[in-house]
Amino acid sequence: MTSANVVKVTERDGALLIEMDNPPVNALGIALRRGLMAAFERLARESALKGAVLTGTGRFFSAGADISEFGKTRENPLLPELIAFLEDLGKPVVAAINGQALGGGLELALGCHYRIAAPAARMGLPEVKLGLLPGAGGTQRLPRLIGVERALAMIVTGEPIDAAEAKTLGLVDDVAEGDLIGAAFRLLEGAVARGVRPPRTRDREEKLAAARADSGLIDRIAEPLLKRQRGLPAPRACVEAVRAAVTLPFEEGLKREVELFAQLVNSPESKAQRHIFFAEREAAKLPDMPADVRPREVNKAVVIGAGTMGGGIAMSFANFGIPVWIIDQDHESLDRGLARIRENYQITVSRGSLAADEMEKRLARIHGTTDWSVLAEGDVVIEAVFEELDLKQRIFRMIDEKARPGALLATNTSTLDVNKIAAATSRPEDVLGMHFFSPANVMRLLEIVRASKTSFDAIATAIAIGRRIGKVPAVVGVCDGFVGNRMLHRRTAQAERLLLEGALPQDVDQAVVAFGFPMGPFAMGDLAGLDVGWRIRKARGTKAPISDALCEAGRFGQKTGAGYYRYEKGSRTPIPDPEVERIIIETSKRLGITRRPISAEEITERMIYPMINEGARILEERIAMRASDIDVIWVYGYGWPVWRGGPMYYADQVGLGQIEARLKHYAETLNDETLRPAALLSRLAAEGKGFSSLPVQPIAI
Instruction: Summarize as ranges the residues that interact with ligand CAA (CB under 6 A).
Output: 24-25, 27, 63-68, 79, 100, 102-104, 107, 126-127, 130, 132, 134-136, 138, 278, 281
Q: Which is nearer to ligand CAA, 60 or 396 (CB)?
A: 60
Calpha distance 670→334 (Å, rounded): 49
Are the CB atoms for 26 and 20 separated by under 8 Å?
yes
Residues in contact with 204: Cβ distance below 8 Å, sequence separation at least 6, in sequence order: 144, 145
Sign for the pseudo-dihedral over CA of 20, 23, 25, 27: negative
Q: Which is nearer to ligand CAA, 374 or 472 (CB)?
A: 472
Q: Which is nearer to ligand CAA, 6 or 314 (CB)?
A: 6
The residues with which 101 forms a beta bridge, in sequence order, are 62, 123
What are the angstrom distances between the C-alpha of 346 and each of 306, 339, 352, 358?
A: 18, 10, 10, 11
Q: What is the closest distance, in whole angstroms, from the C-beta atom of residue 280 to ligand CAA in the complex? A: 8
Strand, helix or coil for residue 421? helix
Q: What is the closest distance, in whole angstroms, from the C-beta atom of residue 90 to ligand CAA in the complex? A: 24
Q: Which is nearer to ligand CAA, 468 or 617 (CB)?
A: 468
Q: What is the closest distance, in whole angstroms, from the C-beta atom of residue 492 to ligand CAA in the complex? A: 33
Q: Which is nearer to ligand CAA, 126 or 615 (CB)?
A: 126
Are the CB atoms for 475 and 435 separated by under 8 Å?
no
Calpha distance 21→61 (Å, rounded): 9
Q: What is the closest distance, in whole angstroms, from the C-beta atom of residue 64 to ligand CAA in the complex? A: 3
The residues with which 303 forms a beta bridge, in sequence order, are 326, 382
Q: Which is nearer to ligand CAA, 107 or 577 (CB)?
A: 107
Q: What is the closest distance, in whole angstroms, from the C-beta atom of residue 324 to ligand CAA in the complex? A: 23
Q: What is the closest distance, in whole angstroms, from the C-beta atom of residue 106 to ligand CAA in the complex? A: 8
Q: Which is nearer to ligand CAA, 135 or 525 (CB)?
A: 135
Strand, helix or coil for residue 475? strand
Q: What is the closest distance, in whole angstroms, from the C-beta atom of residue 154 to ligand CAA in the complex? A: 13
The residues with which 475 forms a beta bridge, in sequence order, are 448
Q: Among the options 127, 496, 501, 602, which is catalytic?
A: 127
Calpha distance 335→382 (Å, rounded): 19
Count Cβ neighbours within 10 Å for each residue of 373-406 and write b for 16 or more, e otherwise. Answer: ebbebbbbbbbbbeeeeeebbebbebbbebbeee
Q: What is the closest distance, in whole angstroms, from the C-beta atom of residue 77 to ligand CAA in the complex? A: 12
The DSSP line for 362-379 is HHHTEEEES-GGGGGG-S
Burial class (CB in 10 A: 0-12, 13-18, 19+), 316: buried
Count the Cβ atoms, other than its own, within 10 Å of residue 147: 18
Helix (H) or strand (E) holding 404: none
Residues in contact with 622: Cβ distance below 8 Å, sequence separation at least 6, in sequence order: 477, 697, 698, 699, 700
Q: What is the closest distance, in whole angstroms, from the C-beta atom of residue 565 to ligand CAA in the complex? A: 38
Are the CB atoms for 563 and 530 separated by under 8 Å?
yes
Burial class (CB in 10 A: 0-12, 13-18, 19+), 407: buried
- What secondary structure, in 3-state letters, does 58-96 show? CCEEECCECHHHCCCCCCCCCHHHHHHHHHCCCCCEEEE
> Would you give the DSSP letter of residue 563?
S
Q: Which is nearer to ligand CAA, 79 or 440 (CB)?
A: 79
* CA contacts within 13 A on the Cβ side of 346: 6
Residue of this chain nearest to ligand CAA (CB atom)? 103
Q: Among the options 19, 107, 447, 496, which is catalytic?
A: 107
Q: Which is nearer to ligand CAA, 224 or 268 (CB)?
A: 268
> Would you give the DSSP letter of residue 200?
P
Q: Which is nearer to ligand CAA, 100 or 587 (CB)?
A: 100
> What does DSSP say about strands 472-477 and 431-436: parallel, antiparallel, or unpaired?
unpaired
Structure-derived torsion over alpha carbons of residues 408, 412, 418, 424, reported in degrees to the nearest 10: -60
Q: What is the closest distance, in whole angstroms, from the C-beta atom of residue 1 to ligand CAA in the complex? A: 13
The residues with which 16 forms a beta bridge, in sequence order, are 11, 52
Reported residue count of the chain is 701
Q: How far apart are the first and last CA of the chain?
A: 38
Determine whether 127 is an active site residue: yes
Residues with active-site annotation: 107, 127
